[in-house]
Amino acid sequence: MKNRREKGQYGYRTYRKKIQILEVLFGVAMILIQLGARYVTDNQAAKNILTVMAILSVLPMANVASPLLAAWKYRTPPEEFYHQVQKYESACCILYDLILTSKEAIMPVDAAAVHPQGVYLYCSSAKTDCKKGEKFLNELFAAHRLDPKVKLIQDKKAFFNRLECLKPATEYEDDGSVEYTRELLKQISM
């Protein structure tokens, strides 16, 4: 696909939502075709098989639909936000449009700055409980033998102030933890 987006790239939420909608529509169409074909045939065995196929098709469709519904209200941030954050990509690794989940919360992270000094996540959702989110992420990082220095920030100005204070990551000795942290964040994102 020409406009394919990967996790961590700007525009991923919008791209993923379109793909999931198409997958759900395809699943619904397949279920309806199977149920419609049930009424076309006179063979009872074929009717039973088509009914079972339609029932079994619901589960994979539900597996696609549930993350779609959970992330429905979270949109890709405006392009001007992307251009503001893009300036700091030389100082640290930036990930965009992540939706991190724990048992207690969904954290829509508009931008994540992964730096040897720590991980700074900007979450524009006022409903997110930052303390619970930070606790979850710090415990997760500690379990993966990473320094638990995660900060969830809801104030845009504070996030940009924090980015402004970061020295370029090249000034620090690279032990591979930045890349590992970046991949971990992408893995736990929806």
For 142-178, how does the pLDDT look when each residue is reduced to its tens digit (9 = 90+)?
A: 888 888 788 888 889 998 989 888 887 676 776 778 8
Parallel, antiparallel, or unpaired: how do β-strands 93-101 and 106-115 relate? antiparallel
**Predicted confidence (pLDDT) at residue 1 exceeds the cutoff of 60:** no
Structural domain that includes position 30:
12-70
Residue 2 pLDDT class (50, 70, 90 cuts): low
Domain match, 86 and 30 both = no
What's the pLDDT tens digit per position in 18-69?
A: 999 999 999 999 989 888 888 888 888 988 888 888 888 888 888 889 888 8
pTM summary value: 0.80
Say if 53 falls within a structural domain. Answer: yes
pLDDT of 22 reads 93
Beta strands in 31-161 (DSSP E): 93-101, 106-115, 118-123, 150-153
pLDDT of 73 reads 86
CA–CA distances in Å: residue 188 to residues 76, 94, 137: 18, 16, 10
| Domain end (from 24, 42, 70) | 70
Say if 103 falls within a structural domain. Answer: yes
